[in-house]
Structure 1
């Protein structure tokens, strides 16, 4: 198992919409997350900085392949059409990078 985390910004005027979407995530999206070996997935909001922090545990053997599988899924693409406009990538993100992966620097069980 590998712990992974990511961060992105959120537009203040889109916070309510983003919360509404995530209060009723489509079953197909939840199923796709599970099929891609992601477990214990959470997204947190930090205000007033307007940051989203995502955390999950990856239980697969090839994260790049699972991430590509998720990105190719038609329902996931449809979901991202709704969620991506709510977000603002970090200032130094690579072109097209919606979420920036974070490096784990400490963990305690």
Structure 2
């Protein structure tokens, strides 16, 4: 199992819209997250930033992420979510949400 943390800014005028979208997340999107071996997925908010955490339990992360990105329902969902977000200037190449380095973990 791999743990992933990532961060992105949320546009202040879009915060309530973003919260509403996730309060009523589409079942097809949730199903795809599960099919792509993601578990324990959470998004937190603080001071203009969204923090995402999830656990990946599959064997081929790149293939599963490509599968998710190719899904028409997920693409439509992203069309609604992405205008609410502002990526960090320091994100890596090809990243929307900036991946974070894990510096501590305790079970």
Place the TM-score, normalised by the shorter chain, in its bin: over 0.9
Q: Deviations over 1:26-49 (max 9, x none)?
A: 0000000000000000000012xx
Q: Deviations over 1:13-65 (max 9, x none)?
A: 00000000000000000000000000000000012xx0000000100011111
* Uncovered stretches (5+) of structure 1, i.e. residues with no partner: none
Of 43, 48, 55, which residue of structure 2 is paired with 1:57? Answer: 55
Q: How far is the alpha carbon of 1:96 from its aligned partner?
A: 5.2
TM-score normalised according to structure 2 size: 0.96
Moved over 4 A (4+): none
* Uncovered stretches (5+) of structure 2, i.e. residues with no partner: none
Q: CA RMSD of the aligned region, Å?
A: 1.0
Q: How far is the alpha carbon of 1:94 from its aligned partner?
A: 4.1
SS where residue 96 of structure 2 aligns? coil
TM-score normalised according to structure 1 size: 0.94
